[in-house]
């Protein structure tokens, strides 16, 4: 078990976790239609920063917002920096991680998790293992991706983008929207009064590199693992991936049914933020954890599951307790 | 050279020719290690955890060539390989491995050791666990390097 | 038509990286998906891009592909009728 010691979100909807929570509660969306943001690509709908951002400064700002210097000393060798991203700074993944860690005078080589769209959850699982095994005491997990001609053209070639704001789990859903964001969670081995990460699991469908499993195999195995020690009825909320593509949402429904979780309230955040790729797992974990505990007056623990799936047949899930 | 190795060690998997160089490299390394081996753990408990320094940059460059201005025909089959973790998925499909698949971008192969160590010490699941793990790097055409091993361990 | 079919077979082999196949190995009327050549969803998207790149045909709805990509012949017939280059 590891403890949250700070978090932040920077998205087109606002700067800081609280601003983003308020935006979601007010029903605001960052999704807009773009016709000439990138050369050659067809018109698309996405959640993009009005002013194009630079990757490294954006990550640094996100970490600064999340940091409580009284608990976490970045320059300490017991702190590890973990970056979750799919395309990094214009296709470079290693150098930006190094620049970020260097900015905070951290002496350890950083770790970059690049596990497609599951990266943000996988990065938290990596942090949990490294902290639990005693190698480090604190982890700075930052997730970030910025959109580009490269990414939008590829998703268009895949016919995966919806020209309208996405409608996950709707029978008439038309696909996903891409998004930009940076989000940070600081984890520590010492108890805090915030939520804690108690379990995490990653499984592959072993079926196809781009099409989700028709039986939700990998996602089901992840859910089964994170349910270890709790009953499905104890889960108070599930943050699904909910991209809005035909096959993803169907696969998740099957996996949830197989795991006995079909009746648990679901959070779907992509209609507000789009699919923020490497940031998604971090951003959506923060919002699910913070909003579940704000909106539900529970006498006992909130138990929240966050799940994601991605290209390469990979699936990941974590369980958060508050 | 990779095609030659494919014909020698596999030969029965036409999907090989659709893969980018990083996947071909990882596929062959895994083929050599796993062929004829009896796994010491369940397929859900076998993992593939790989790393390199330059992600999928060689294939990223190939995909960029399909979206050059004036000649814009983005290739879906190249785009899908612009993620480094696809190699772990290709190996999982070939060998029906349903455990964890993870890909890390690191400074050097030594940096993977504590990550693997912590994977085996994490308390989530009991019973025997295995991992195909190592370095799988391809930064330029005809410049590639892979070093993998299979590790078994037990927790609880 | 026959010429187009032959040309299309070569283009399919190149676009889908069938390194072990020659145009003679592809039957004109055999199904491309399923048991025939065993193409998958990414191959279908690549064929859509091939039609755009080589023949100037844009398929807005990937579901259209199901009919068009039944065999090399159905593909050639569609191209013959709709090509813009």
Divide the 156 residues of chain B into consecutive groups of 10 and give the mean pLDDT of each group.
Answer: 93 93 98 88 94 97 95 96 98 97 98 96 74 96 94 75
For A210, which residue in chain C has the nearest alpha carbon? C42
pLDDT level of residue A293 (50, 70, 90 thresholds):
low
Across A155-184, average pLDDT: 97
Give the neighbours of chain C: at least 3 Cβ pairs within 8 Å: A, B
How high is the pLDDT of residue C20? Answer: 83
Report C:9-68 residues touching A (Cβ under 8 A). Answer: 40-42, 45, 48-49, 62
| Option in B17, B74, B77 nearest C19 (CB) | B17
Calculate how close chain C gets to A213, using CA atoms only, in Å: 13
Architecture in CATH for domain A2-188: 3-Layer(aba) Sandwich (3.40)
| Encoded tokens for A238 | 């599930």
In this prediction, residues A95-114 reach a mean pLDDT of 98
| Per-residue confidence (pLDDT) for residue B156, from 0 to 100 | 47
For position B37, what pLDDT does the model report?
A: 83
Separation in Å, CA of C73 to nearest CA in chain B: 23
Nearest in space to A318 (alpha carbons), one of A198, A219, A165: A198
| A positions 223-242 inside 8 Å of B (CB) | 225, 228
pLDDT at B104: 98
CATH number for the segment(s) A196-321: 3.40.47.10
What number of helices (H) and strands (E) belong to chain A?
9, 14
| B101, A115 contact by CB (below 8 A) | yes
ipTM beyond cut 0.85: yes
Q: How far is C45 from chain B (nearest CA, A)?
A: 6
So what's the pLDDT on residue B125? Answer: 60
The answer to whether A59 and A144 are in contact (CB under 8 A) is yes
Identify which of A82, A188, A74 has the alpha carbon closest to the alpha carbon of residue A131.
Answer: A188
Average pLDDT (C12-17) is 93
What was the pLDDT predicted at B126?
Answer: 61
Q: Which residues of C touch B62 (CB under 8 A)?
A: none
DSSP A210-240: SSPPTT-HHHHHHHHHHTTTS-GGG--EEE-
Domain map (residue ranges) of chain A: 2-188, 196-321
pLDDT bucket at A307, cuts 50 / 70 / 90 = very high
Domain range list for chain B: 2-152
Determine whether the interchain pair C18/B3 forms a contact, defined as Cβ–Cβ distance below 8 Å: no
At A298, the pLDDT band (50, 70, 90 cuts) reads low
| Cα dihedral: A183, A189, A193, A198 (round 10) | 80
**Residue A294: its pLDDT value, please?**
53
CB within 8 Å of chain B, chain A residues 67-106: 86-88, 91-94, 97-98
From the options 3.40.47.10, 2.30.30.240, 3.40.50.1400, 3.40.50.720, give the CATH code of B2-152: 3.40.47.10
Residue B5 has, within 13 A of its CA and on its CB side, a CA count of: 12
* Chain C residue nearest residue B17, CA to CA: C17
Neighbours of chain B (3+ CB pairs under 8 A): A, C
- Are A109 and B118 a contacting pair at CB < 8 A? no
The answer for residues whose C-beta is within 8 angstroms of residue A49's C-beta and 6 or more apart is: A12, A146, A180
């Amino acid at each position: 078990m590891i403890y949250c010691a700070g978090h932040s979100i920077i998205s087109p909807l606002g700067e800081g976790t609280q601003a983003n929570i308020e935006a979601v509660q007010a029903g605001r969306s960052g999704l807009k239609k773009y016709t000439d943001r990138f050369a050659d690509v067809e018109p698309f709908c996405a959640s993009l920063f009005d002013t194009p951002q630079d990757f490294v400064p954006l990550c640094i700002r996100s970490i600064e917002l999340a940091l409580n210097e009284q608990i976490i000393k970045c320059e300490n060798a017991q702190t590890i920096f973990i970056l979750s991203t799919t395309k990094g700074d214009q296709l470079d993944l290693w150098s930006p991680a190094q620049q970020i860690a260097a900015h905070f005078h951290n002496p350890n080589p950083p770790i970059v998790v690049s596990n497609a769209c599951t990266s943000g959850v996988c990065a938290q699982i990596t942090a949990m293992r490294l902290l639990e095994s005693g190698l480090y005491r604190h982890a700075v997990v930052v997730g970030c991706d910025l959109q580009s001609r490269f990414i939008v053209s590829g998703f268009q070639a895949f016919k995966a983008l919806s020209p309208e704001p996405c409608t996950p789990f709707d029978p008439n859903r038309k696909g996903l929207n891409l998004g930009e964001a940076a989000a940070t969670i600081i984890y520590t081995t010492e108890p805090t009064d915030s939520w804690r990460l108690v379990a995490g699991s990653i499984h592959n469908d072993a079926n196809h590199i781009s099409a989700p499993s028709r039986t939700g195999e990998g996602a089901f195995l992840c859910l089964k693992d994170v349910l270890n020690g709790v009953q499905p009825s104890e889960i108070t909320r599930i943050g699904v991936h909910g991209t809005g593509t035909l096959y993803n949402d169907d696969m998740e429904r099957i996996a949830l049914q197989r795991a006995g979780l079909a009746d648990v309230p679901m959070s779907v955040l992509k209609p507000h933020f789009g699919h923020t790729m490497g940031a998604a797992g971090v951003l959506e974990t923060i919002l699910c954890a913070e909003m579940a505990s704000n909106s539900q007056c529970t006498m006992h623990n909130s138990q929240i599951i966050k799940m994601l799936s991605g290209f390469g047949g990979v699936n990941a899930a974590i369980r958060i307790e508050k | 050279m990779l095609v030659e190795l494919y014909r020698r060690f596999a030969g029965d998997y036409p999907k090989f020719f659709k893969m980018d160089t990083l996947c071909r490299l990882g596929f062959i390394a895994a083929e050599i290690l796993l062929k004829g081996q009896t796994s010491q753990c369940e397929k859900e408990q076998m993992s593939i955890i790989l790393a390199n320094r330059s992600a999928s940059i060689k294939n990223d460059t190939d995909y960029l060539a399909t979206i050059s201005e004036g000649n814009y025909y983005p290739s879906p089959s190249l785009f899908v390989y612009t993620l480094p973790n696809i190699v772990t998925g290709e190996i999982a499909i070939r060998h029906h491995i349903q455990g964890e698949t993870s890909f890390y971008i690191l400074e050097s192969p030594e940096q993977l050791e504590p990550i693997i160590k912590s994977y085996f010490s994490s308390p989530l699941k009991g019973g025997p666990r295995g991992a195909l793990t190592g370095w799988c790097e391809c930064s330029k055409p005809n410049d590639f390097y892979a070093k993998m091993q299979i590790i078994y361990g037990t927790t609880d | 038509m026959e010429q187009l079919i032959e040309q299309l077979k070569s283009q399919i082999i190149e676009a889908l990286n069938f390194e072990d196949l020659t145009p003679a190995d592809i039957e004109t009327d055999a199904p491309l998906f399923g048991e025939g050549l065993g193409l998958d969803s990414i191959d279908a998207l690549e064929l859509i891009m091939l039609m755009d790149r080589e023949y100037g045909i844009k398929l807005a709805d990937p579901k259209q592909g199901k009919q068009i990509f039944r065999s090399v012949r159905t593909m050639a017939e569609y191209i013959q009728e709709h090509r813009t280059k």
